[in-house]
Amino acid sequence: MSYADMWSYWSRLKNDASQSTNIAWDHLELMKLSAINHDQLSGLQIADCVASAHWQAVSLDKYGVNEPRYFQEVIPKLYRYKDRAMNYGLKFLPSLEKIRPSQSHLSVFDGLK
């Protein structure tokens, strides 16, 4: 996701009353967000590993094959709120419900709530 797209997404969430979020905007200062290279912060390296595992699970290679095993290792560690990982520790844009019917390889996410 480009920075322009990220800012557009945050702004839409913040300013569009039809978007339902649980974000406490008074505790989040968007102008203070910045980018840091992953080699400068170990937490970002962990985030890169999780993002890469997710990418391998959702993306098809040139042979039409995906690799969900890395992501399956991450699933138990996802952040959950009231026992729900979807839209808390894991969020799809567009939503998984919209893309799942046409993407059979996304079955790795079936049953994940």
**Bigger pLDDT: 35 vs 52:** 52
Name the average pLDDT for the chain. 80
Bridge partners for 109 per DSSP: none
**Bigger pLDDT: 1 vs 62:** 62
Same domain, 23 and 67: no
Structural contact between residues 80 and 112, judged by C-beta atoms closer than 8 angstroms: no
Same domain, 95 and 51: yes
Structural contact between residues 50 and 74, judged by C-beta atoms closer than 8 angstroms: yes
Residues in the chain: 113
Same domain, 68 and 19: no
Same domain, 78 and 110: yes
Residue pLDDT, tens place only, 57-103: 888 888 988 888 888 888 888 888 888 888 877 777 777 788 777 77
